[in-house]
C-alpha cells in the first residue's frame, strides 16, 4: 500500500502572487519563454521504439532519475541589491531560500544575478552516519549570470553550469567550511554519462543515498525545450511506472429503517464500511475549473483501508500516485500533496502505452553495445567530415595564394571566412567560447 518514502520540503518562504508574477516575468525576459507557466522541460515515457529510432540515431547523455521534488533554482539580486535564491516548483510556486551565497568565478565576494538552473531536491542519506539531509542535484542550466544559454547544446550548457556556477560554489565550501554550514542544503552535479554507459549508471544506483526510480536520457544535439520535450526520455522499470490521479471516495449510504421515510436523518453516509475508491484523470481546465473523469478503481483490501483510516487525514479529493500490477489492478504508493492536479489525460495515455510496451532493464543493457557502436560511428563520420573540410580549406587557400601571388593581390578577410566555415562543422564541445555570438 503506502510506501515509506520521505518527501523533501523546501526550506524557504512561499512568495505571494505579486512577487511570484514579477519573478516569472523576469525569467520569461531572461530565457525568452512565453506565458506564466513553469518553464522546466518535461520528459516523455520511454517506449520500445526509442531504442532503435532514438538512442541508435542520436547522441544522448544518461543519468539516474531521482525520486524527489523537481525544482528550478533562480539566483538574482532583489530590489535592495541583496543576493536572493528561489526554488520554483512544477506548480510554479516560488520559494525564497535564505542563507545562500553563490559566487562568480575568481571573486568569492561576487554573486550571480540572473542564473537559472534545473535540478531535483532530494533527501539523501549521509554515508558516514545515515542521517538524511537535503541535496539539490543539478542536471541542466538555462541562464548563467544574465546570459541566456537555452539555445546551446546540452554539453555546452553543462560546461557553463560546471565552470561558472558549481566550481566556484565548491571552492567556497572548501575554503570556508564553517561559514557554509548555515547553507540550507548542499548542491551536486548529476553524474551524466554517454548513453551507452547505461549499465554503469544502473549499477551505480544501488550506492546512491537517495531514492532513484529509473533513468533520464537527455539529447546532446538539441537546445533546452520549455514544457514537454519529445527528445527527453524517462525510463522506469514497469513496476515503477506510475500515474497521479485524483482520489474520490464513493461512501455507501446507511438507511435507518426505524425512522420515517420523510425524516432527513433516515439516510446518512456509513463511514464504518469501506467505500469504493475511484481514480479520476485530469482532463484540463475549463473556465478556470479543473475537470476530471473516472478511469478506474483503486485496489484496496480491508487491511489497507484500515491503514488509510488510521492516518486520521482527509482522503477524498487528494492527488495520489499509483502503479499498476501485472493483473491490471492499481495500487496506492503515496499522496502527492505537492501537486494541485493529477497527470493530464495525454500523459496518462502515454504512461499506459509505456506500461504496455515496457522496456526491461535487461533489454536496455543488451542494447548498450549497439548504442556504443552507433555513437562511435557518428563520431568517426564527424571527424572525417571535419578533416575533409579542413583539407578543402587548405587546398583552396593554396590555390588562392598561388593566384594572389600571380596577381600580386591579397585578400585580408579570406582566412577569417575559411576558419569560420570550418568551425561551423566542428563536433559539439563541452565548453564553448565566451566570444561567440549568443543564439
CB burial of residue 26 (10 Å; 0-12, 13-18, 19+): middle
User: Residue 166 and residue 159: Cα distance in Å, rounded?
Assistant: 10
100 near 85, Cβ under 8 Å? yes
Cα angle vertex 291, ends 289, 296, to 5°?
155
Q: Closest Cα to residue 41, out of 207, 223, 185?
A: 223
Residues belonging to the active site: 65
C-alpha cell at 89: 516548483
311 near 332, Cβ under 8 Å? no
User: Residue 140 and residue 190: Cα distance in Å, rounded?
Assistant: 9
Q: Closest Cα to residue 7, out of 92, 97, 120?
A: 120
- C-alpha separations of 143 from 28, 103, 111 in Å: 11, 15, 14
306 near 263, Cβ under 8 Å? no
- Length of the chain, in residues: 439
H or E stretch including 74? Answer: strand 69-77
Q: Closest Cα to residue 71, out of 47, 25, 50, 40?
A: 40
Place of cell 503515496: 334
151 near 141, Cβ under 8 Å? no
User: Residue 151 and residue 207: Cα distance in Å, rounded?
Assistant: 34
User: Residue 343 and residue 357: Cα distance in Å, rounded?
Assistant: 19
User: Which residues contact residue 364 at a Cβ distance below 8 angstroms, ignoring those fewer than 6 apart?
Assistant: 51, 198, 202, 215, 235
Q: Closest Cα to residue 235, out of 90, 59, 357?
A: 357
- C-alpha separations of 360 from 39, 183, 368 in Å: 31, 40, 13
HSE on the CB side for 300, CA within 13 Å?
Answer: 22
Amino acid at each position: 500500500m503506502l510506501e515509506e518514502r520521505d518527501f523533501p520540503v523546501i526550506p524557504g518562504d512561499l512568495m505571494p502572487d505579486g512577487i511570484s508574477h514579477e519573478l516569472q516575468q523576469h525569467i520569461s525576459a531572461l530565457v525568452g519563454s512565453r506565458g506564466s507557466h513553469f518553464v522546466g522541460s518535461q520528459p516523455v515515457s520511454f517506449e520500445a521504439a526509442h531504442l532503435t529510432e532514438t538512442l541508435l540515431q542520436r547522441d544522448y547523455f544518461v543519468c539516474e532519475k531521482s525520486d524527489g521534488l523537481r525544482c528550478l533554482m533562480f539566483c538574482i539580486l532583489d530590489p535592495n541589491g541583496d543576493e536572493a535564491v528561489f526554488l520554483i516548483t512544477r506548480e510554479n510556486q516560488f520559494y525564497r531560500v535564505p542563507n545562500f551565497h553563490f559566487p562568480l568565478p575568481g571573486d568569492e565576494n561576487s554573486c550571480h544575478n540572473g542564473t537559472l538552473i534545473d535540478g531535483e531536491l532530494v533527501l539523501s542519506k549521509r554515508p558516514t552516519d545515515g542521517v538524511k539531509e537535503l541535496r539539490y542535484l543539478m542536471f541542466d542550466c538555462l541562464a548563467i549570470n544574465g546570459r541566456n544559454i537555452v539555445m546551446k547544446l546540452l554539453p555546452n550548457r553543462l560546461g557553463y553550469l560546471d565552470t561558472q556556477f558549481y566550481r566556484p560554489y565548491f571552492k567556497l565550501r572548501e575554503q570556508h567550511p564553517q561559514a557554509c554550514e548555515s547553507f540550507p542544503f548542499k548542491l551536486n552535479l548529476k553524474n551524466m554519462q554517454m548513453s551507452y554507459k547505461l549499465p554503469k549508471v544502473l549499477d551505480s544506483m544501488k550506492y546512491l543515498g537517495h531514492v532513484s526510480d529509473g533513468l533520464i536520457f537527455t539529447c546532446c544535439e538539441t537546445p533546452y525545450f520549455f514544457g514537454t520535450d519529445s527528445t527527453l526520455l524517462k525510463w522506469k522499470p514497469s513496476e515503477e511506472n506510475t500515474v497521479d490521479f485524483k482520489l474520490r471516495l464513493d461512501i455507501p449510504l446507511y438507511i435507518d429503517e426505524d425512522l420515517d421515510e420523510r425524516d432527513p436523518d433516515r439516510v446518512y453516509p456509513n463511514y464504518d464500511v469501506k467505500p469504493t475508491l475511484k481514480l479520476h484523470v485530469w482532463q484540463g481546465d475549463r473556465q478556470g475549473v479543473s475537470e476530471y473523469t473516472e478511469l478506474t478503481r483503486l485496489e484496496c483490501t480491508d487491511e489497507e483501508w484500515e491503514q488509510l483510516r488510521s492516518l486520521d487525514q482527509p482522503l477524498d479529493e487528494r492527488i495520489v500516485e499509483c502503479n499498476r500490477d501485472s493483473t491490471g489492478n492499481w495500487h496506492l504508493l503515496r499522496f502527492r500533496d505537492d501537486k494541485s492536479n493529477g497527470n493530464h489525460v495525454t500523459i496518462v495515455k502515454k504512461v499506459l502505452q509505456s506500461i504496455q510496451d515496457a522496456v526491461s532493464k535487461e533489454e536496455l543493457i543488451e542494447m548498450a553495445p549497439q548504442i556504443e557502436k552507433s555513437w562511435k560511428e557518428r563520431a568517426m563520420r564527424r571527424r572525417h567530415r571535419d578533416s575533409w573540410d579542413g583539407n578543402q580549406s587548405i587546398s583552396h587557400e593554396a590555390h588562392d595564394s598561388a593566384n594572389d601571388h600571380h596577381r600580386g593581390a591579397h585578400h585580408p578577410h579570406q582566412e577569417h571566412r575559411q576558419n569560420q566555415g570550418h568551425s561551423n562543422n566542428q563536433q559539439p564541445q563541452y565548453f564553448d567560447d565566451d566570444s561567440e555570438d549568443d543564439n
